[in-house]
């Protein structure tokens, strides 16, 4: 009876919120501005909610009820990024988010077309709204790919989004981009094939003919400069070979020759006619005083061809051939080789696929590209590479013998 009444207007002080820091971090991270949430605030939020189911649920409620209902697209976009980060990391957060997945769809993806609460409608401008929808759709698609087996509602939500958005749905956009990429690839492939066919018809016969003739001519000129006998390919058919003779005479010579006696066919043991003039000396290919070796050693790089009055005409011809090979033939072969090597074959399932834009008509670009099969491409590449390699070796040999300079074959 003597107990006093509580004071007028006094209310008990509410207990402090144990998760006030989490609410503050979520709000600051979503309203920080910029193209993405502040990384320091995001790391601090992850530390606060780690291994705490209650803290995770409080962060999720703040994201859904405050940030995803913001009147601007920027904070909503940051909220979607934070939801995506926590959804991938925590099972407790995934469970909490699946309970309110419909609200996430309304406030981040289909709010413009749902006709629901105006506070859930996605605000403008259109560019920011498109970025928000695109980011939320990408997150939903990645969730379904990674966690769809455990959360079947993700697949249902993804199909719902595709139906609502129509042409703006991620699946429709991806299909259009894939179709456009295939069309660009087909056009580029057709252009390459057309260039190759023109090169094969107009330039390639002359290049291959010149490459073969230049390589043979350079080899013959080097044989003359080195004082070596040309190979059998360069000899005339009407000239008899010294090794070809009567088998009976060869047998008699083998029978008459003694192992301890010198061969009469050698220059030292042969009877020479004193009236016959001596054979002319070979052209000088080495500096005076340097002994001349065989052809293999002469081409090794330690021997240089000295230009004299006797071989000046041959040296000038070699330089002319090397200049033409380096300036015109070798670059042309390299260009043709790169052109045919860059033509890619079309997969078998795409060659006969009807064009979706041509009313069932077979893709003309694919049929044009079928003219170059993989076998024809391999044969062309091998032939061009072999031709280029042969001519390049001939020019390099001239450089090694100092007939032409390495930087400028002329």
Q: Is the dihedral of CA 285, 291, 294, 297 positive or negative?
A: negative
- Residue 257 CB partners (closer than 8 Å, separation 6+): 263, 264
Please report, to the nearest 10 degrees, the dihedral formed by the alpha carbons of residues 255, 256, 262, 263 taken in order. Answer: -70
Average pLDDT over residues 129-158: 92
Question: For residue range 318-345, what is the model confidence (pLDDT) as tens digits?
Answer: 899 999 999 999 999 999 888 888 887 6
pLDDT for the residue 55: 92
What pLDDT sits at residue 7?
55
Alpha carbon of 131 to those of 35, 109, 172, 242, 298: distances in Å? 11, 10, 16, 88, 73
CA distances from 354 to 28, 173, 348, 351 (A): 54, 21, 13, 9
Task: Give the pLDDT band (50/70/90) at residue 268.
Answer: very low
Query: How far is the C-alpha of 171 from the C-alpha of 138, rounded, in Å?
Result: 10
pLDDT at residue 94 in the model: 95
Mean pLDDT of 43-60: 91
Its pTM stands at 0.48
> Among 103, 12, 94, which residue's Cα sits nearest to residue 66?
103
Rounded Cα distance, 182 and 355, in Å: 11
The candidate with the shortest Cα–Cα distance to 215, out of 394, 388, 397, 401, is: 394
Q: Which domains occur in the chain, in start order?
A: 20-168 (1.25.40.90), 188-231+283-347+362-410 (no CATH)
As a whole number, the mean pLDDT across the chain is: 75
Outline where 325-401 has alpha helix (H): 330-341, 348-351, 364-369, 374-400
CA atoms within 13 A on the CB side of 318: 27
> In terms of pLDDT, which residue wins out, 148 or 265?
148
Q: pLDDT tens digit string along 273-325?
A: 555 555 544 434 334 433 333 333 344 446 677 778 888 888 899 899 999 99
DSSP-assigned letters across all residues of 133-153? HHHHHHHHHHHHHHHTTT-TH
pLDDT at 265: 45
Q: Please tell me the distance from the alpha carbon of residue 350 to that of residue 363, in angstroms, as a whole number.
A: 9
Q: Is the pLDDT of residue 367 over 50?
A: no
* pLDDT tens per residue, range 150-206: 999 999 999 898 888 877 777 777 788 888 888 888 888 888 888 888 888 888 899
Residue 126: pLDDT band (50, 70, 90) is confident
pLDDT at 175: 81
In the numeric block, the tokens 């005479």 are attached to: 249
Structure confidence at residue 353 as a pLDDT band (50, 70, 90): very low
So what's the pLDDT on residue 122? 84
Which is more confidently placed, 229 or 400? 400
Report the percentage of the chain scoring pLDDT > 70.
69
Longest dimension (CA), the chain: 165
- What's the pLDDT at 112? 53
Closest listed residue to residue 125, CA positions, set 67, 70, 74, 66: 74
148 vs 296, more confident: 148
pLDDT of residue 346: 55
**How many CA atoms lie less than 13 Å away from 365 in the CB half-sphere?**
19
What confidence score (pLDDT) does residue 119 get? 66
For 279, the token pair is 């054979």
Does pLDDT of 23 surpass 80?
yes
pLDDT in tens, 100-114: 999 999 998 886 555
């Amino acid at each position: 009876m003597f107990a006093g009444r509580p004071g007028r207007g006094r209310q008990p002080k509410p207990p402090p919120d144990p998760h006030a820091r989490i609410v503050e971090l979520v709000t600051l991270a979503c309203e920080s501005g910029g193209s993405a949430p502040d990384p320091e605030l995001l790391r601090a939020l992850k530390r606060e909610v780690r291994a705490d189911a209650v803290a995770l649920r409080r962060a999720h409620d703040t994201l859904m009820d405050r940030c995803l209902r913001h009147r601007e697209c920027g904070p909503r976009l940051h909220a979607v990024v934070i939801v995506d980060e926590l959804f991938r990391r925590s099972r407790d957060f995934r469970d909490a988010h699946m309970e309110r997945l419909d609200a996430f769809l309304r406030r981040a993806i289909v709010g413009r077309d749902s006709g629901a609460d105006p506070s859930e409608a996605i605000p403008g401008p259109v560019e920011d709204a498109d970025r928000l929808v695109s980011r939320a759709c990408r997150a939903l698609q990645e969730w379904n790919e990674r966690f769809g087996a455990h959360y079947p509602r993700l697949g249902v939500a993804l199909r719902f989004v595709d139906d609502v958005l129509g042409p703006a749905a991620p699946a429709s956009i991806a299909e259009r981009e894939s179709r456009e990429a295939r069309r660009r690839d087909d056009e580029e492939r057709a252009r390459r094939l057309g260039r190759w066919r023109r090169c094969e018809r107009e330039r390639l016969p002359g290049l291959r003919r010149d490459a073969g003739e230049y390589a043979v001519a350079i080899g013959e000129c080097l044989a003359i400069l080195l004082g070596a006998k040309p190979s059998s390919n360069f000899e005339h058919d009407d000239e008899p070979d010294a090794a070809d003779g009567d088998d009976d005479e060869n047998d008699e010579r083998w029978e008459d020759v003694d192992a301890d006696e010198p061969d009469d066919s050698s220059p030292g043991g042969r009877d020479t006619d004193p009236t016959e003039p001596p054979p002319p000396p070979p052209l000088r290919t080495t500096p005076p005083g340097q002994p001349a070796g065989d052809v293999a050693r002469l081409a090794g790089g330690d021997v240089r061809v000295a230009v004299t009055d006797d071989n000046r005409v041959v040296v000038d011809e070699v330089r002319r051939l090397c200049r033409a090979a380096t300036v015109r033939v070798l670059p042309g072969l390299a260009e043709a080789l790169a052109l045919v090597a860059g033509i890619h074959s079309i997969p078998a399932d795409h060659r006969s696929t009807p064009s979706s834009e041509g009313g069932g008509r077979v893709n003309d670009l694919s049929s044009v590209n079928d003219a170059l099969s993989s076998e024809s491409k391999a044969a062309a590449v091998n032939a061009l590479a072999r031709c280029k390699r042969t001519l390049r070796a001939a020019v390099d040999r001239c450089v090694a013998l100092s007939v032409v300079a390495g930087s400028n074959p002329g």
